[in-house]
Amino acid sequence: MFKRRRKLLPALLLLIFSLTGLIIAYQLVAKSPIFTTSRAAEGLTEYNNIIYGSAIAYTGGRVNLKMDIYVPKQATATNRLPVVIYLPGGSFKAAPRSWVQPSAMELAQSGYVTAAVEYRVRPEETVSYAAPDKALPVILDAQHDVQAAVRFLRANADKYNLDPNRVGVVGISAGAITALYVGYNYEDPGDSGNPGYSSRVQAVVSIAGAMIQPENYMASGDPPLLMFHGEKDGAVPFAMAEKTRDAAKNVGIPVKFISFPNQQHVIWNNKEIEPNTNNFLKQYLKDVSATPLPSPSPQPSPTGDNTKPTEENTPPNQNTAGQTHSVQKPGGKTQTENLLCSLTNGYLQAKGQLTEEELKQLDHLIAKYHNLSILAELGISSADDLMVYYQQNCIN
């Protein structure tokens, strides 16, 4: 699999992926929690309005990012519990934590530390899969924010008595799109806070979400996936959800796909979602002993319808829960050009170890997406162009 050659050429591929804008989004609508509950937060310790990071708002200036955390009383220093992040939907125009607070409290009753997490939105934008250039900045913001939330929880594992090696993310609608890219685009950590910790999660639940070109992200060993989707969804086409499912299957990612005949986008109150989500999280988070993540060098943190669904499963593979990938993010054009020289040199050294098919795929990636990135400014639209650039600009 091409993606797993990142050991030979990690930095070059990460530069291409981060600069070429492979993340594309959909227009989404969501105004309800996944589950509802009349129970109070019995047996839970609540931490409200926790600032987990900060980032540049769409209006300019920095904005604090917040989450609410629910910790069961049984969570102790010697009984670390898995943690699950809940992401609300809202067409990327809104993402209030209140929409998923009932879900987070409900699951916490079952023995998880949970967090209802907000992320940046753009009320004036209409996010559509048909307009990837316009969607890209919005989705990147959301992805990077949630990755900062993942890192915040790991950085504060001792405070909340959570297991940093067992982290799951559940999203609905726009939150599901975000959850998928958090799960499978973890090489691009963003800069919304808490550097020095892994952004990777060990389980992903998508409720009415999908990916564009998921084959460019998914690879063997990536986290298992549970998907719910309405077959008549007009906001996130069902065919795109099927494509996401198929990409996971093709690389051996454990995936369970539950479709709802005759249902549209708003499926999150369907009675099938709660038990299947709970069983999935139990299987991949609660009932496993995750591979420990490498010890980081900590850095300071910033202040329904009852229609019977159709269910599909693929058998699980061995998920490398603790695998991490380092990313070097260019800080500007000059740094990018200098980094590109270094990365191209790495490409030259690895070229002899790449197969012909992998070289073709690399060439295809560059050619297809160069117009969305600084690569176009540098005249790079193919792997051969990398060589020309290197000879003209990098060799003293």
pLDDT on residue 337: 59
In the chain, what are the domain boundaries? 23-313
Query: Residue range 140-162: average pLDDT?
Result: 96
Q: What is the pTM of this model?
A: 0.69
pLDDT digit string, tens, across residues 271-311: 999 999 999 999 999 987 644 544 444 444 443 344 457 77
Strand-pairing partners, residue 46, are 70
Fold observed for domain 23-313: Rossmann fold (3.40.50)
pLDDT on residue 19: 36
Mean pLDDT across the chain, nearest whole number? 77
pLDDT on residue 139: 85
**Strand 81-87 versus strand 255-260 pairing type:** unpaired
Tell me the DSSP string of 311-366: EEE-------TT---------SHHHHHHHHHHHHHHHHHHHTTS-HHHHHHHHHHH
292 contacts 167 by C-beta, under 8 angstroms: no
pLDDT band at 35 (very low <50, low <70, confident <90, very high): very low
**Strand 203-207 versus strand 225-230 pairing type:** parallel
pLDDT band at 10 (very low <50, low <70, confident <90, very high): very low
Query: Residue range 237-258: average pLDDT?
Result: 95
H or E segment at 65? strand 62-72
Query: Residue range 46-74: average pLDDT?
Result: 94
Query: Residue range 171-188: average pLDDT?
Result: 94
246 contacts 311 by C-beta, under 8 angstroms: no
Higher pLDDT, 128 or 46: 46
Strand, helix or coil for residue 116: strand
